[in-house]
Structure 1
């Protein structure tokens, strides 16, 4: 059967489109849009001050930075708190999450202001995925044994916090962070994402190779699955405190400010 030039061009375009759709099943990492806004979200056993080493570095680079105070009550509440901050941004924004807040980044990252996602030793589920079941396919990290509950509120014991959460920080600094630990509600852990923003947004991931809170191999799996630009740091779970230069540089790259 013969094919005229117009039919051939249409078929070529359709084939290219099908190829693109297929390849986006696992998000690639296209060049990020230049952004001047960064929104940071903290995870469990912390509050917004856990970004205190990263914030001044980003501000010195001319970025407008906001650290969300995650309520740690339910996933919808936590996502809503991030969305309110994203609504206030005046243009392209890099959304950054540490630890549990990767759930929030994955869900809220579909916001139109979000130009790129950065995961720092963070959860990165697919839409509707049972993260707990996924995590159980890897050896359980030591910090899990240090979680204690007072009714519906969970927290890390001091021993687990110092050893398994902030293990590469000076003890005095780790104790300060322990003092501002915000308890989380049991209901928070039952939430599932309904979106996977990493399937459509440029994504970046910082793996903590010495992590005792999330299994490092699980972090590697999630980073590879999302097609993220990935760095590995010889760090505890708190790389944002122990390696702020590297984390800040990764965020700057996501903001299109670093080649």
Structure 2
């Protein structure tokens, strides 16, 4: 089972943002959510995460209506991974990941041996256990992003929501993070991430979703639904799609005017 969004509507005061969003996806998939700035991707994610309460429609995870869940119960279903996370204190990597285990604690109880083992297992899942005692603040942007993913894994949620996880990373770290996300999806996680890069969807995603005018305009395999005409309409520029060698995937680039 996975995530189902049915007729989701939400607006800020008199300004409608989501006007009837519908999609469903099973676990074991990496979904890239595309849309121009202001399309409502972050608003959609905030509704899914329970941060915005005033929506209409239904959001279900593993067959359970998220409105019926308490905060800790929701945290065991869905984890959020931000773009970055600045720390004022010099937490170790292991301490950062242990923060993801708080949903398993009762009351004000502090993390103990069990939570430490869970956190270390998450580091091993991300293949970064060698960083456990390093200072999170001294890691590169790509390394920090992998630690934040490990923290979400330690939360033991099967659905991971990511808002532009590669936005502040260099090209190499973008590729490393996307490869890890693809691997996690192959291990059974459902990962929904927003991105402004059609190529990330083409190269890594199992499913692509296009959010425009408050609804899902397209949902399916990237090579089938991300057409030149759709991307041109969404971004307001002319683009060309190319076959990526013998991979069966495509690549996207702006179609520059001759002479420029």
State the TM-score, normalized to the length of structure 1: 0.30
1 or 2, which has the higher strand percentage?
2
State the TM-score, normalized to the length of structure 2: 0.30
